[in-house]
Structure 1
Amino acid sequence: MTAVSALVEELKALRKGRGVLAGKLDERLGPEIRRCCGVRAGDRPSEVRDKVTATLAAAIAELPEDLGGLLLVAYALDPRLRLPFYQERIDRVADQLHRDRRTVRRRIDDGIVHLAELVDGRAPGPPEPGMPDEIGPGWHTEELRTFVNLEPAAPEAFEVRRVVADRDGIGALDLAFTVTSADGGPEIDVFSGGRLAGKRKQATDRVGFELRLPAPLRRGQTHEFVVRFKAGAEMQPHYACVPKQRCDYFDLRVRFPADRLPAAVWRVAGGFQRDLDDPVATGDPVHPDPTGEIRGEFRRLLPGLAYGFRWSRNG
């Protein structure tokens, strides 16, 4: 049996019961899932769950939407369908899609094969000699508060972020911002909590930057910093957080110009990033308050999925 075929069987077993939310998750993981998710002996239960959830969610986000949506349900990653039994989740989504149960199960089986190939291809290799046996960035976001002001000609976003070190010696944070303006910005200014040590283009629409901390963090130590992003042109009609790793809490506030309120605004919680630009409205409708502001709170964000707001272009 190949590594991928073994991983397929382990992933099929993992979807049973509460999926990734099952109690004593560590005891349900086979060797291939452990390898691909970077689970190590001595990891705390919360670390095991975070690693498995982050690995699966990030890979699922790369699948076609029809398969990805079903796999989110299968592993209880979809917050709207976290029912205690796999068959209950199948029944619910089959009713929603007006499909036969066997068809849904077959599509999930097909999706798991693709998922296994992606997860195996992303699996971390063994550490180099002399390097610590550590997986992941070594920190996570405990709280992120973002304030977006669309009133100026050059819209601004302020981030107040509190992170927690998951191991000793974290002296810098590798961060990214998805560009939402046509000119390829944004300007990045660190107001407090560190220094900007470098900025680089990671993709057509994503800018990566490194934040150098005042002093290395110890495991369990928290640190807060404030960053401003300034777009050089009109933003695309959405703003969302798509975490690369664990994010416990996200508070987003968006202020629209009082004389240019959008005709419609939707809240997106756990959607695919590509859906933010889809002309078909998705998410729950919300309405700006009398001052032109909207606010959304999101908890236990899944890596690779989008949380925030999208709005119509017409004002």
Structure 2
Amino acid sequence: MGRPQKEIVLDGSPTRLFAYWLRDLRGSAGFTLVQLARRTGFSKTTVSDAMRGENHPSRPVTLAIVRACGGDVPRWGVFWSQVRRALDPDCPDGLAEVTPPPWEDAAGRAGGVHAEHCPADCGRTEPHGWYTESVSTLLRLDTPTPEALERRVVVATCDGLARIPVGVSVPRRPGDTSVGHGLETSVVQGGRLEDEGPRYESYFERVLVLPAPLRAGTRHVYEVRLRIPPAQPMAPHFVHVPLTRSEHFRLRVRFDRARPPRAVWRLAGVPTAVIYERNPGAPVLRPDERGLVEAEFRAMKVGYGYGLCWRESGAG
């Protein structure tokens, strides 16, 4: 087997951003570089270079990869053109015009206006300054260390919303008594992280500073990448516990096909204590041929858990 591609560090470069998402598309399809080369008709070196993040690939190579992986070819064509334009030193708009995937199902919805507003003359931004319209998370357990890409659509309910707390609980895996315990967080799009918020032994909070203050009723999309530090074990579950209004949660977990879980089950509207019981108590789910298990939740109750638990290979 060939060496795995070097990890892409997102540093604001449109070339790296494009390669990051092209590589993500290939990962979702589950193809090796050799398989992808065979399906596209281009060499392994060519398809590998397209996802290296050093140079913007040609349009024919890009669309051949997208087509082979079952991606949205027209939208990827637009995305390719946006990045090409952003790389043009004479283009005044630059990165402002780059809209990376995953895209909204309904065109233009992310920047639209919602009907909900705060009470008249409300000047507060919390706790009712915004709510979460949707959360879409892809958790990768087939990577060297667990990582999640999380996309959120929030709706401002007060004029002038400029900052949103981003809090994540990372419980210890049973039996883990190591000294170090952390979480790496970075923004893919939709703002920048600033200032550490409250931080406890297993809870990490940062503040997302939005590109511009939002008007009441305006939607905003942001994406964060969460990564468990190398060698740190992860608790065998991923659960969304809404602390404020949250309307829709979609979770996809990609397991390592070489080490499939013994059992996977849904948690829907459970007290947090139930998460740690390690008892399926529900129909057991099985990963598909790509190692994926998916679950969706709506009408979620604040303070209750929604997500997936699993029992790993070799676990009792």
**Which secondary structure state, in structure 1, belongs to the residue aligned with residue 284 of structure 2?**
strand
The residue type equivalent to 1:203 in the other structure is Y
Tell me what 2:160 maps to. 169
Within a 5 Å distance, the mapping from 1:272-311 to structure 2 comes to 272-311=271-310
Give, in whole Å, the separation in 1 of the partners of 2:214 and 2:270: 33
Distance 1:195 1:260, change over 3 A: same
Within a 5 Å distance, the mapping from 1:193-204 to structure 2 comes to 193-204=190-201
Give, in whole Å, the separation in 2 of the partners of 1:134 and 1:146: 26
Tell me what 1:313 maps to. 312
User: Is the contact made by 1:164 and 1:221 (CA closer than 8 Å) also made in structure 2?
Assistant: yes
Within a 5 Å distance, the mapping from 1:194-233 to structure 2 comes to 194-232=191-229, 233=232
Give, in whole Å, the separation in 1 of the partners of 2:286 and 2:303: 26
The residue type equivalent to 1:136 in the other structure is P
Once the two structures are TM-superposed, the CA of residue 46 in structure 1 deviates from its matched residue by 8.1
- Specify which structure has the higher proportion of helix: 1
Distance 1:284 1:176, change over 3 A: farther
Unpaired runs of 5+ in structure 2?
A: 1-114
When normalised by structure 1's length, the TM-score is 0.56
Distance 1:283 1:199, change over 3 A: farther
Residue by residue, what CA displacement relative to the aligned partner does 1:241-277 show, whole Å, maximum 9, x if unpaired? Answer: 1111011111100000001111111101111122212
The residue type equivalent to 2:290 in the other structure is T
Does residue 169 of structure 2 align to residue 178 of structure 1?
yes
**Which secondary structure state, in structure 1, belongs to the residue aligned with residue 127 of structure 2?**
coil
The list of structure 1 runs, each at least 4 consecutive aligned residues, that deviate by more than 6 angstroms after superposition, is 45-48
The residue type equivalent to 1:178 in the other structure is S
Give, in whole Å, the separation in 1 of the partners of 2:135 and 2:252: 11
Give, in whole Å, the separation in 1 of the partners of 2:225 and 2:192: 12
The residue type equivalent to 2:157 in the other structure is D
The residue type equivalent to 1:204 in the other structure is E
Give, in whole Å, the separation in 2 of the partners of 1:306 and 1:168: 30
Question: Which structure ranks higher in relative contact order (CA pairs < 8 Å, sequence separation ≥ 6)?
Answer: 1
Does residue 154 of structure 2 align to residue 155 of structure 1?
no
Kindly report the root-mean-square deviation, in angstroms, between the aligned alpha carbons of the 2 structures: 2.4
Pairs aligned (count): 190
Distance 1:135 1:193, change over 3 A: closer
The residue type equivalent to 1:211 in the other structure is L
Tell me what 1:243 maps to. 242
Once the two structures are TM-superposed, the CA of residue 131 in structure 1 deviates from its matched residue by 9.0
Within a 5 Å distance, the mapping from 1:66-145 to structure 2 comes to 132=123, 136-145=127-136
Residue by residue, what CA displacement relative to the aligned partner does 1:166-204 show, whole Å, maximum 9, x if unpaired? Answer: 111110001211114554221000011000012244433
Give, in whole Å, the separation in 1 of the partners of 2:309 and 2:117: 32
Tell me what 1:255 maps to. 254
**Which secondary structure state, in structure 2, belongs to the residue aligned with residue 275 of structure 1?**
helix
**Which secondary structure state, in structure 2, belongs to the residue aligned with residue 274 of structure 1?**
helix
The residue type equivalent to 1:244 in the other structure is L
The residue type equivalent to 1:172 in the other structure is R
Give, in whole Å, the separation in 1 of the partners of 2:215 and 2:117: 17
Tell me what 1:61 maps to. none
Distance 1:205 1:222, change over 3 A: same
Distance 1:306 1:284, change over 3 A: farther
Once the two structures are TM-superposed, the CA of residue 283 in structure 1 deviates from its matched residue by 3.9
Distance 1:218 1:158, change over 3 A: same
User: Is the contact made by 2:124 and 2:158 (CA closer than 8 Å) also made in structure 1?
Assistant: no
User: Is the contact made by 1:266 and 1:283 (CA closer than 8 Å) also made in structure 2?
Assistant: yes
User: Is the contact made by 1:196 and 1:211 (CA closer than 8 Å) also made in structure 2?
Assistant: yes
Q: 185, 188, 191: which one pairs with 1:191?
A: 188
The residue type equivalent to 1:285 in the other structure is V
Give, in whole Å, the separation in 2 of the partners of 1:289 and 1:201: 39
Residue by residue, what CA displacement relative to the aligned partner does 1:73-126 show, whole Å, maximum 9, x if unpaired? Answer: xxxxxxxxxxxxxxxxxxxxxxxxxxxxxxxxxxxxxxxxxxxxxxxxxxxxxx
